[in-house]
Amino acid sequence: MVILIITLILFTGIGIEIIKRVRYKQTEYFAITHNSYGKTMSDDGLRGEYFVYDELKDFPGNTKFLFNVYIPKTLDQEVSSEIDVIFLHNSGIYVIESKNYSGWIFWNENQNTWTATYDRGNKVHFYNPIKQNDSHIFYLKLFLWIDKNIPYHSIIAFSDRCTLKNITLTSKKHKIINRYNIYKTIKQRKFSQELSDDDIEIIYEKLFPLTQKSDEYKEKHIENIKNIRKSFSKKFISSYRKG
């Protein structure tokens, strides 16, 4: 009877949920972020980052992950640029911007704003993630200051629930993909030994402290982002009316 009850629990929704939570606590994502399973699954941004990790966690070679990396823009580190995911591999440094939108994504690499359109015609405008990731890479290079020609790869990973429309991408520096394609996209690159195992460890050790910021620091960063978005929205509305 006990075995039967255990079996029933394991194969019900409750049992599956328990297994997911147990496995989650064994992941590198949890070890770095300390985010609870509930917090991660209930937050669109965190969930998208976790799913990126889940797609790449079995990638071959020497790999290291860093999440929510606050790269300083100023010497006092009061102003920072937050990178969603950094994936270190022997083939280079992959800077991944996770966008967990659904719906249809309309975009052009040179536009300042991109648009997510939903079933009922609702729209969300957001800052061009290509330019966003260019900024991330710029400050990351300044912070690492490595005297070596290391390739930095920019990847914009959208939710599997969205459809990328009106694709116009001439730059070869970036990859704009659905999240389910991220493993294949990186695997298809012509690998060369750009980073030694020691290089990866040194970079990881230098960046790791930037993932362990206090809640107070994170709240201040979010407040700065909100102020930037308000300014951005006003400029967008103003330019739209003028047009």
- 129-168, pLDDT tens digit by residue? 999 999 999 999 999 988 778 889 999 999 999 998 866 7
Same domain? 89 vs 199 = yes
Residues 94 and 175 reside in one and the same domain:
yes
Cβ neighbours of 136 (radius 10 Å): 23
Q: Is residue 132 part of a domain?
A: yes
Same domain, 197 and 225: no
Residues 25 and 71 reside in one and the same domain: no
What is the number of structural domains in the chain?
3
Query: Is residue 48 a part of any domain in this protein?
Result: no
Instruction: Please report the pLDDT score of residue 240 as a whole number.
Output: 42
* pTM for this predicted structure: 0.85
Is 179 within a domain? yes
Distances (CA, A) of 11 to 2, 38, 113, 147: 14, 21, 45, 54
Neighbours of 53 (CB within 10 A): 21
| Structural domain containing residue 119 | 60-212
Helical (H) or strand (E) element with 156: strand 152-158
Is the pLDDT assigned to residue 120 strictly greater than 90? no
Same domain, 81 and 129: yes
